[in-house]
Amino acid sequence: MRITLDKFFTVLTGLAVMCMIAALFVILGPMIYRGLGAIFFRGTVEFRKMQLAEFEHGNIEKIKQEDIQTKQARQAVYNIIDKFRNGIDAEKLTDQAKQIDRTFGKELQLQDTERERYQELRGLSRDIRDKLIEAFSSTDIEQIKKHIDFVLRYESDERFRKTSAAQYFKLAHEFAQASEKIDFEKKDLYAGELNELEDIIVKLLGPDPNGNKPVLAQKRYGAARWDQAQKLMHELFWKEQWIEQENSKTLVRIETSRAEQFAGTELEPLFAYIKDNSKKMLNPQITFYWRYFLDDSTPGHYFGGIGPEILGTLFLTLLSMVFVIPFGVISAAYLTECSSEGPVIRVIRMCINTLAGVPSIVFGLFGMAFFVLFFIPFFGGPSQGCILAGSLTLAVLTLPVMIRSSEEAIRTVPQTYKEASLALGASKFVTFVKVTLPAALPGILTGIILSLSRVAGETAPILFTAGIAIGPVPDSIFQKTRTLSYGSWDMAVSDKLAAEVPHNQYGMVVTLVLLILCLNALAIMLRSRVFKKLKGH
Amino acid sequence: MDNIKSEKILKPAVVFEQPLVLTFTQDVKGFLFRYIGSFLLFLFTFTSVFAVLLIFLFVTLEAFPFLTKFGITDFLTSTAWYPEAKDGAEFGAMAIIVGSIYVTAISLVFSVPVGVLASVFLSDIISFKIRGIVKPIIEILAAIPSVAYGFFAVLILAPWLQKNLGFSSGTNALNSSLLLSIMALPTIISVAEDSISASGRELREASYALGATRFETMFKVVIPAAHSGIIAGIVLGMMRAIGETMVVWMASGNAAQIPNPWWDLSQSIRTMTASIAGEMGETAKGSDHYRALFMIGLLLLVMTLMLNLVSEYFLTRARKSLGKV
Amino acid sequence: MPKRNNNDMVISVVKSIKDKYDTSELEMIDMEKIEQTEPYNSTLPEKSLSIIKADDFSFYYGSKAGVKNISMEIYPFMVTAIIGPSGCGKSTFLRSINRINDLIPNIHVEGKLFVNNQDIYSRQINLVNLRQQVGMVFQKPNPFPKSIFDNVAYGPRLQGIKKRSVLQQTVEESLQSAALWDEVKDDLKKSALALSGGQQQRLCIARALSTRPKVLLMDEPCSALDPIATSKIEDLIETLKNDYTIVIVTHNMQQAARVSEMAAFFCLGELIEYDLTTKIFSNPSNKQTEDYVTGRFG
């Protein structure tokens, strides 16, 4: 019994550790996997077009050629949609008919037709037009046939030959053809569906090449990534619906095939075509987007990289290091070398511990109240959040880390080094600078790297002091900056647009995490090397 | 210098070329250098004290007008938090304070058993080699920035909870306290493991020699002996959890309510840190709301300071008791 | 310690010095005068034969005495060994001679310790000059984690010597005096930590010699070394005593007997006996010393 309990206990402790390791992998695994998608992915021609237009990267000639090729492949899609539209889009058809009537009238005027003949033709044209419009808006197949037949009676009429009015008949034929395949009960439904479909196609292939250039950058291009494109195609093929169950509140998701929905219509071949030719239309290629770390981004991080964020993080952390290193190292030197334990030193140590325990958000408050509203304006700076205020706040935050690690580093320098130096007639100061400090340097460096990683990951202290979600790259330390940590928060919670591009969302946070993990790995390696050296000695 | 030897042969009594006594200028210089230098160094070192004082001063200064205007009773006992109401804004922070304590307590429920068991595992069960592998993993857990934990909580864990446990919202007390417990673990483990492994082999050997199993040795001898260090670790973990901002802000749902019933973890709550982080951006500098948020900050500061003192007390006790062993 | 007339000792010391050096020009050493002088005079003679003199010297760590009431003189160009059981204060005494013990917090001294007729625990002492001229070799070899050259050049550089050629010469001389030159002359750039333990210790000796000290304090210099390295160091001490005054602390009595001319026996922080080494080892006047050197205690 006791033995079983003991075994059980052993297993339990092992389980606890396994839990932690599992937590680490559960947290980091999916994030890193998805985050890597921001750099390694299959980029479509839209991606290359975007890169060329927004960031001027890429081979112009090649991309132009690619563009032409893909456009050819895409033309069929547009053609099919146009054809189908003719069958159902009464408004558009009506417009077309009216347009024909107007052009015909003008044509007649230009030809100086006799007044009588002119009026006769105009009247006839108007009749045809009205009948057509009636046919377009009708849902009764018999009625439509009647109207179309009426129109087509004039097809062989000499007077309309070789005039623009001939287009009436083309329109009528097309409509007749389309209407044969259409279930007119569903005409309105089709119109709605078609709009949905066209929206997806715009997302997939980019906006209509003949239309205006959209204002928002994210609407200027189609699916830039193959995984995005595949998702869109799935949406295109399968309509997603949430259906209420009879006796429960939960909605159940079902997917219906769009191809079946449009079965028998002019649109049916579209799905097969897109399925078969998707690669031709988008030309996906495996892309290693290393410029992700340098590029700026379009608003909302829809396209582009995280260059400004990385830059801002570097600015902020390095500047804070500039402030904290002298204070940290000197404090550590004083605490280890110059002072004997007394009440003053005890107070200082207690304050260092207190400082280490202050919540980061309180540092944020302090940074705002002191640095932003008091300290920087006191010296004539602007009273607003800026890199300087942020890095000063972060410097205060990381001061205890710096002091403790430097102190430890200085303490691990063997006393014998100092004695040897002093015995050679060096003063305490010279001994510290020439012997202790160089020997403690790897340890201090470890401390610096650890503080660096701590500072790089902090978000709360820069919320009110330096962080910003959208903005230009700062050109002085008196401006706010984007940072990786602030951006990660923003993209996860506040930015709706970012939610549409999970790879960019995850790419940002993974960059931050990997940056910090690399720094930590470096610190661990450095430390183990120092220990080995000291042990070997 | 070069013909010292020959000089010595002539004069065997040793000549000290450099005087052993300081000249007056050397003396004064040395004195000034030593005292001014050490005073300067002291000033640098004193920045830490200075920083702590400044933090208290400035947070208190900003919060003080709130205290004089609204008093502290309502702030602590009312749950009505309507800071932006046009007329008669109310600043009852009780729900927020309870929220902070609530998630912290729940996170400790998860992290303390795991932390203590894991530190026993690390100190007493595995070989030194495996320890060398597990330790860096704990360090990595500690190094991951809180915003990344928050990111995970809101974008991966929350949808998963919603889908698989049928919660109405994935951002709730359970989600945030789970993440907080993971974040508190490294702190708890490192301090607790230190004190457990420092509690001496003699103690263990004495127990094993009497025929106790490992389980009995651990729970009847080692853990009682190391309890001060373990408590200190737990308090430090608690500080980390209560002071954490990003995770709770992103993952707790941010509804200022006292959880009712208290055991229902799927409710969303709001903590002190999240309130400051979430609302400070929308307040006007110097408004009542702004000052109320500073008041919360002050309260948070006082709470962590107190926890810090508690942890220090237990750490010194741990150090003393180890000194005896 | 009972005061006793040990003029015999002094005479033998002076004789040994006279044997080695041509002292005809010296007025200072006058045999007759010395024979009449009362040793351990409380007032310091104007010119003393000794280079280091402890006068009722006590050293305290906090309230605990490291050594107490030591009175002894150490003579130039001789090897003086300090022996005794561990914890008897022999290292403490040695380390107070160049005030390296100052590093330890909460210490204080009583009595006087003279180096070159100067009380080194008076306030006005130039510690830099003192330590430059009273060199020290430590128990464990402790070269700096730098190159061999930089290790030896550290002392001269502190004195402000920057010229490469001068440094080079000093380094070479020091290494030669420490009998290490032939072994390392080809790779002076190598890290000092790559040397063997014995070589490291000789490097430390060379480093201590580089500042041209007058006195060399050695704190159990061979305790961390193997027998071969130890004998090399002992040979080195033998040659160094021609130019330097050496004070060596050792717990190895054979070593003390081999290398030293004078020996002091410390026990529990007190000086029990101080005499010629031959006398200490063959015919000690104190029972405790006898017990110790014959191996009955300690």
Instruction: Give the residue from C126, C169, C172, C212 with the most B CB atoms within 10 Å of its CB, the best one to mutate.
Output: C126
**Total-model pTM:** 0.82
Contacts of residue A536 in chain C, CB cutoff 8 Å? 193
Residue C28: closest C-alpha in chain B: B13
Instruction: Give the residue from B4, B11, B20, B27 with the most C CB atoms within 10 Å of its CB, the best one to mutate.
Output: B20
The answer for residues whose C-beta is within 8 angstroms of residue A324's C-beta and 6 or more apart is A395, A398, A399, A402, A451
B17 touching C (Cβ < 8 Å): yes
**From the list C100, C142, C159, which residue is nearest A417 (CB)?**
C142
What is the arithmetic mean of pLDDT over A480-487?
A: 89
User: What are A41's strand-pairing partners?
Assistant: A287
Chain A: closest CA distance from residue C96 (Å): 11
pLDDT in tens, B6-51: 333 333 456 677 777 777 788 888 888 888 888 888 888 888 899 9
The answer for residues whose C-beta is within 8 angstroms of residue A108's C-beta and 6 or more apart is A118, A121, A122
Residue A178 sits in the same domain as residue A200? no
Write the CA distances from A35 to A23, A31, A285, A517, integer angstroms.
18, 6, 19, 15
Task: Work out the pLDDT band at C41, boundaries 50, 70, 90.
Answer: very low
Give the three-class secondary structure for A424. Answer: coil
Residue A508 placed within a domain: no
pLDDT in tens, B269-309: 889 999 999 888 888 888 888 888 999 999 999 999 999 99
Question: What's the domain range around C207?
Answer: 7-293
Residue C46 has pLDDT above 60, yes or no: no
Choosing from A185, A205, A237, the residue where a domain stops is A185
| ipTM > 0.90 (yes/no) | no
Beta carbons of B298 and B58 less than 8 angstroms apart: no
Residue C256 placed within a domain: yes
Torsion from C-alpha of C224, C229, C233, C235, nearest 10 degrees: 150
B277 to A463: CB separation less than 8 angstroms, yes or no: yes
For residue A439, the domain's CATH number is 1.10.3720.10
The answer for residues whose C-beta is within 8 angstroms of residue A346's C-beta and 6 or more apart is none
pLDDT in tens, C54-77: 888 999 988 888 888 888 888 888
Mean pLDDT of chain B: 84
Number of domains in chain A: 3
Number of domains in chain C: 1
Residue A442 placed within a domain: yes
CATH number of B94-324: 1.10.3720.10
Beta carbons of B276 and B283 less than 8 angstroms apart: no
Beta carbons of A116 and A154 less than 8 angstroms apart: no
Residue C298 placed within a domain: no
Residue A477 sits in the same domain as residue A362? yes
C243 touching B (Cβ < 8 Å): yes
| DSSP character at residue A497 | G
Chain B: closest CA distance from residue C17 (Å): 8
The rounded distance, in Å, linking the Cα atoms of A43 and A52 is 13
The rounded distance, in Å, linking the Cα atoms of A453 and A58 is 34
pLDDT in tens, A10-50: 888 888 888 889 999 999 999 999 888 888 888 888 888 88
Torsion from C-alpha of A421, A427, A429, A431, nearest 10 degrees: -10
Contacts of residue A512 in chain B, CB cutoff 8 Å? 145, 147-148
A509 to B280: CB separation less than 8 angstroms, yes or no: no
Query: Greater confidence, B217 or A513?
Result: A513
pLDDT at A164: 75
Residue A350 sits in the same domain as residue A217? no
The rounded distance, in Å, linking the Cα atoms of A11 and A33 is 31
Residue A531 placed within a domain: no
A426 to C136: CB separation less than 8 angstroms, yes or no: no
A347 touching B (Cβ < 8 Å): yes
Residue A326 sits in the same domain as residue A414? yes
Residue C2 placed within a domain: no
Query: Greater confidence, B16 or B209?
Result: B209
For residue C48, the domain's CATH number is 3.40.50.300
Question: What's the domain range around A115?
Answer: 78-185
In this structure, the number of other CB atoms found within 10 A of the CB of residue A176 comes to 18
Least confident of A5-9, A143-147, B275-279, C32-36: C32-36
C residues 154-173 closer than 8 Å to A (CB): 154-155, 158-159
Residue C186 placed within a domain: yes
pLDDT in tens, B106-153: 999 999 999 999 998 888 888 888 888 888 888 888 899 999 999 999
Chain A: closest CA distance from residue C222 (Å): 16
B49 touching C (Cβ < 8 Å): no
Instruction: Give the residue from C94, C102, C144 with the most A CB atoms within 10 Å of its CB, the best one to mutate.
Output: C144
Residue A90 sits in the same domain as residue A149? yes
B117 touching A (Cβ < 8 Å): yes
Q: Where are the domains of chain B?
A: 94-324
Residue C118: closest C-alpha in chain B: B20
**From the list B48, B134, B218, which residue is nearest A351 (CB)?**
B48
C residues 116-145 closer than 8 Å to A (CB): 127-133, 135-136, 138, 140, 142-145
Residue A132 sits in the same domain as residue A248? no
Residue A397 has pLDDT above 90, yes or no: yes
